[in-house]
Structure 1
Amino acid sequence: MNRSALAAHDAAALQVPAQSCYCCSHCSLPPHSTPLLPTTAQIKQEIIPKKMGLLTAAAIATVSAGGAVVAAPVILGVVGFGSAGIAASSYAAAWMSSAAIANGGGVAAGSLFAVLQSAGMAGLSTAATAAVAGTGGTVGGLVAAVLI
């Protein structure tokens, strides 16, 4: 293409209707030497919502991770795993009774019940806090992906 034809092509490219995109692979114009810049309307309608969607998803995931870490000790207490041990007549007490009957009189060391009892009495370890935060963040990110 000579210089005048290229200039005419670029001038025509700048007259793309507002509903057309600014990428040559998606519009009806042949490829040109200078990239088209998005219009202000396209920035407001297409680019900003996509960026805000990602920021919103990241914010939801972050808040979910923090919320899970804060909620975990509260939920353990509500279920019956307290700092003084298993609360009488709680879900944890019923579970402990079932586990003891199933295991011949005791709760198996390292079982989920034993881990939750330990977390209820001593709080979450660093590893448990990281696991709870990771799980909360993942769930929050998945929820955000569905909603956004």
Structure 2
Amino acid sequence: MQEKNNDNFTLKEQRVVNIIEGFIMKFEKNSLLGLSLPAGHKNIKAFICKIYGEQALYTIWNKYAKEVLARVKDSIRKQRMNILNSKKVQSLQNKYPNLNIKDAYIYACLTKKFALSNNDLKEFEGILNIALKNVTPLDRNSQEYKKQKSKPKR
């Protein structure tokens, strides 16, 4: 008897579902970077055909991939709308009008590095501040470096 997980899929079925989810997420991240179009039916079918062959294409498509595509696209859409409607993200966008903060934060959330929380937004703003600083490293022979070096540490 095959083991079943909590989604009523066998372990082999869950592996197929995870592969399809990963492919969809990769396509969505690449679409935010401008490298591809968002994932769609044709992309998924071509991927399944390439990996599992044409005979398994329609079985996998009808049994798993349709539902997975709809579920993942829906969760991405909801997450995107939450970020776009967030007052804190909007204030960050207003603070840095020349940067595309909203898409950058959507990408960060898709990669699961950030969430839509106050702490993560503060960290994201800190990263932006560091990235936008025009700080050049001090030359070891410069007077400024020698002054900083001679200051007593507290």
TM > 0.5 between the two? Answer: no
Which of the two has higher C-alpha Rg? Answer: 1
Instruction: Give TM-score, length-normalised by structure 1.
Output: 0.30
Higher helix share: 2
Higher relative contact order (CA 8 A, sep 6+): 1
Instruction: Give TM-score, length-normalised by structure 2.
Output: 0.29
